[in-house]
């Protein structure tokens, strides 16, 4: 299977061309799956998982000391914290420190408990932790939430890159805003003599997010894996997505519906640091069929050829 210059996955597709068959890669993306290197090195994965669990313990300890600076030090310099109450994005370590200083002042005497439910590795330097948190305040009922934390490994240290959370007792979800994408849920398999692509899409708890994952296997080797989370942004009233691939690329997108098509306006950073963008158009045919094409594709401002629509079939 050849590769193509297509920025949707933010990978080394920019370096070679692929057959039109691999268009499934643009439709597939991304939940917690091990990269080949991690799968072959269980000892390293165990070490990294232990380091992330220690980071969680350090986070709880800093919170319970009301140490906003200590909390902020556990985040990457360009990290994003999404306020669970307002949906507001707080970007950057300094801004996150200020946010937590205000939270800790308001929650004086509060104590945090956190339980890690699972840790999955997208690549040797990207991990996703799912967990439950409980904030206990004097003379108040405990507040419980579930969270998803993306970690990036920087200079040997696992740092928080993005955290989203939602209350356990959420009654109203964002399903109404996302239900037009429900046809994506399920398993998609595309196979030829050169490669096998397996894609899976699922709802998260309360139907607040869709997770999409893919693996591309060439022979007996996994060529790529990745993760994408699609959700409703209540602050901007838009469907948004965040994507990470096992080559080290990442990006985000805004989704808008036009008739039976979804226009996914995506920007990202390639593994070598170049900026990329594209508008990917996914057109619903029926619950088992869609077409996908890509236009306005650029890398560092250089316009690339469009990719014509290709039909994709659900397994």
DSSP string, 43-111: HHHHHHHHHHHHHHHHHHHHHHTT-HHHHHTTEEEEEEEE-TTT--EEESHHHHHHHHHHHHHHTTT-E
Q: Are 119 and 129 in contact (CB under 8 A)?
A: yes
Given a cut of 80, is residue 225 above it in pLDDT?
yes
Q: Are 84 and 180 in contact (CB under 8 A)?
A: no
Q: Which of 228, 221, 227 is nearest to 253 (CA)?
A: 228
Is the pLDDT higher at 127 or at 41? 127
Is the pLDDT higher at 4 or at 224? 224
Given a cut of 50, is residue 25 above it in pLDDT?
no
What is the mean predicted confidence (pLDDT) over 115-125?
93
Given a cut of 70, is residue 228 above it in pLDDT?
yes
Given a cut of 60, is residue 50 above it in pLDDT?
yes
Share of the chain above pLDDT 90, in %: 59
Given a cut of 60, is residue 93 above it in pLDDT?
yes
The pLDDT value given to residue 255: 98
Alpha helices per DSSP H over the chain: 24-27, 36-39, 42-64, 68-72, 93-106, 175-178
| Range in 54-63, 219-228, 255-264, 272-281 with the lowest mean pLDDT | 219-228
Q: What pTM does this model have?
A: 0.48
The pLDDT value given to residue 2: 39
Q: Are 213 and 155 in contact (CB under 8 A)?
A: no
Q: Is 39-167 in the same CATH topology as 7-35+173-313?
A: no
Given a cut of 70, is residue 41 above it in pLDDT?
no
What is the mean predicted confidence (pLDDT) over 143-147?
89
What is the mean predicted confidence (pLDDT) over 93-101?
93
Coil, helix or strand for 314? coil
Cα–Cα distance, 6 to 293 (Å, whole number): 10
Q: Using alpha carbons, list the distances in angstroms from residue 141 to 138, 149, 215, 287, 288.
A: 8, 25, 43, 44, 46
Measured between its terminal Cα atoms, the distance across the chain in Å is 20
CATH topology assigned to domain 7-35+173-313: Lipocalin (2.40.128)
The pLDDT value given to residue 291: 86
CATH topology assigned to domain 39-167: Nuclear Transport Factor 2; Chain: A, (3.10.450)
The pLDDT value given to residue 27: 41
Q: Which of 18, 2, 25 is nearest to 224 (CA)?
A: 25
286: Cβ–Cβ under 8 A, 6 or more apart, which residues? Answer: 183
Mean pLDDT score of the chain: 84
Write down the domain spans for the chain. Answer: 7-35+173-313, 39-167
């Amino acid at each position: 299977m050849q590769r193509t210059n297509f920025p949707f996955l933010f990978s080394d597709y920019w370096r070679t061309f692929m057959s039109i068959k691999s268009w499934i890669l643009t439709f597939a993306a991304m939940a917690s799956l091990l990269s080949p290197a991690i799968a072959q090195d269980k000892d390293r994965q165990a070490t990294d998982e232990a380091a992330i669990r220690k980071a969680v313990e350090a986070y709880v300890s800093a919170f319970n000391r009301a140490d906003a600076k200590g909390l902020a030090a556990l985040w990457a310099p360009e990290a994003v914290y999404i306020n669970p109450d307002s949906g507001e994005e707080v970007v950057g370590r300094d801004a996150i420190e200020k946010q937590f200083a205000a939270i800790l002042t308001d929650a004086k005497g509060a104590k945090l408990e956190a339980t890690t439910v699972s840790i999955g590795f997208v690549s040797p330097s990207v991990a996703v932790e799912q967990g439950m948190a409980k904030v206990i305040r004097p003379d108040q009922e405990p507040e419980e939430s579930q969270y998803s934390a993306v970690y990036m490994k920087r200079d040997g240290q696992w740092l928080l890159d993005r955290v989203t959370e939602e209350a356990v007792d959420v009654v109203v979800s964002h399903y109404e805003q996302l239900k037009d994408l429900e046809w994506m849920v399920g398993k998609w398999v595309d196979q030829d003599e050169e490669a096998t692509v397996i894609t899976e899409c699922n709802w998260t708890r309360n139907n607040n997010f869709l997770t999409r994952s893919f693996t591309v296997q060439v022979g007996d080797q996994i060529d790529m894996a990745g993760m994408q989370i699609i959700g409703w942004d209540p602050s901007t009233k838009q469907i948004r997505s965040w994507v990470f691939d096992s080559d080290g690329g990442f990006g985000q997108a805004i989704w808008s519906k036009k008739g039976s098509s979804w226009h996914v306006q995506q920007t990202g950073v390639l593994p070598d640091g170049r900026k990329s963008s594209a508008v990917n158009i996914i057109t619903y045919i029926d619950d088992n069929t869609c077409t996908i094409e890509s236009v306005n594709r650029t890398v560092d401002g250089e316009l690339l050829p469009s990719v014509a629509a290709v039909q994709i079939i659900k397994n």
